[in-house]
Structure 1
Amino acid sequence: MQSDEAQVRVVIVEDHPLFLEGLRSALESADGIRVVGEARTLAELPGAVAAGGPQVVVMDLSLPDGSGVDATRRLAEEHPELAVLVLTMADDDTALLAALHAGARGYLVKGAGREEVLHAVRTVAAGGAVFGPGVAARLTALVTGGPRHEAERAFPALTAREAEVLDLVARGYDNRRISRELFLAEKTVRNHVTRVFEKLGVASRAEAVARARDAGLGSAGDGRDGGAGGGGTDGGPGRGG
């Protein structure tokens, strides 16, 4: 048996009991890996890290009391030596970029096989970065292009975050959906939308959508989450976007 010093110490952040049990079992059955703590909420995470002294935190992004992206950012600031490996159901570009910007060293989608997860834990513990199948290709595309870059080129007055918001508006997402996609408070999204309207010189969500789509944005949208009309809680710029 390996000494404690030779083992990769892991804290799991996961609120679904069955998935947590399966992940713990998979990690503990592997040579050289030891689960030293668990957190089912963000509130439990600091205590688990302090008690276990992990090298790796396996992080879900959707938790009952907040976002795993925010938790990743805090860990990166407070424990820069600690590697965060995201393991989530969120298989979209926005979640991927948010996690990486927050400081995650790896990103896997739930459904990854046992050996893939074990390899990822060992890789990030050793200082490397790892991404699941398909994620690396998407990441390359995001870095070299993608909707946010198209928005920034078409509307240079927008900040990077405003460009992201505009692309999601063009997809037909309402503010609530955008807040989930970008892991932002809904009030923050409304403020971004208002500034986007001002910079584009438009008075309504429909006008913003039209301008954005003319620039090639919003092609991935399905229009079911608010649409161009901006009904519900979204309103116009006079009500915070």
Structure 2
Amino acid sequence: MNILAEIRSRFEPVLTEWTDDPSSVIEMLKASQDAKFGDYQANFAMPLAARIPDLKPRDLATQIVEKVDLSDFCEPLEVAGPGFINIKLKQEWLNTQTQNLVADERLGVVPAESPQKVVVDFSAPNVAKPMHVGHLRSTVIGDANYRVLKFLGHDVVGDNHIGDWGTQFGMIIFGYKHFLNEAAFEEAPVTELARLYRLVNQLSDYHATKKTLPQRENDIEQLEAKLKTLESSADQTA
């Protein structure tokens, strides 16, 4: 049972006496921020009274309270201050609800009416690098989402996608064959493989950039020629 939704559903038909659209103010009924005012509090009497001449918010709140029936699970409603409506749940009702939840293996959670196919993608480590705390965080959150959705009755697939591992393994193999530090590998193999991956990645970037040098040199020559032309034109104008 969604307590807030149930309370709002009891108030809405009553509010139609003072507004054509109760949904425009019903969200002003919410959980109380201070326990001394009860468990829930409704503040909509003030804006509703402002639309009605000669009606004080407190008087309107009193009229609303007289028409709303929450006696099956709430204490008698209270009107406070300029027109606040304070709502307190009955302790006996809360005790009963708690006992029912403890005895229910689903803890009162109703399965989804229309189960869906859901894919939860999480972790996604780079197989060429050591895992770190970021992967742990993603794994915990992803697995929690998986379990919650599964509990709700959805058809869930957990996907630990490891990415395009072909290129990464190729870099490690190349680095292993050409740049391996055997002593470092013996002491900490994962750390050494990560170093090789970074090294080969840097070499790949270097060679990719090197291929662009002729074009960049040509661009520089063209810009220098253009600059000389502009300078020449400026001298002739002067």
Q: TM-score normalized by structure 2?
A: 0.22
Structure with higher strand content: 1
Q: TM-score with structure 1 length normalisation?
A: 0.21
Greater CA radius of gyration, 1 or 2?
2
* More helix per residue: 2
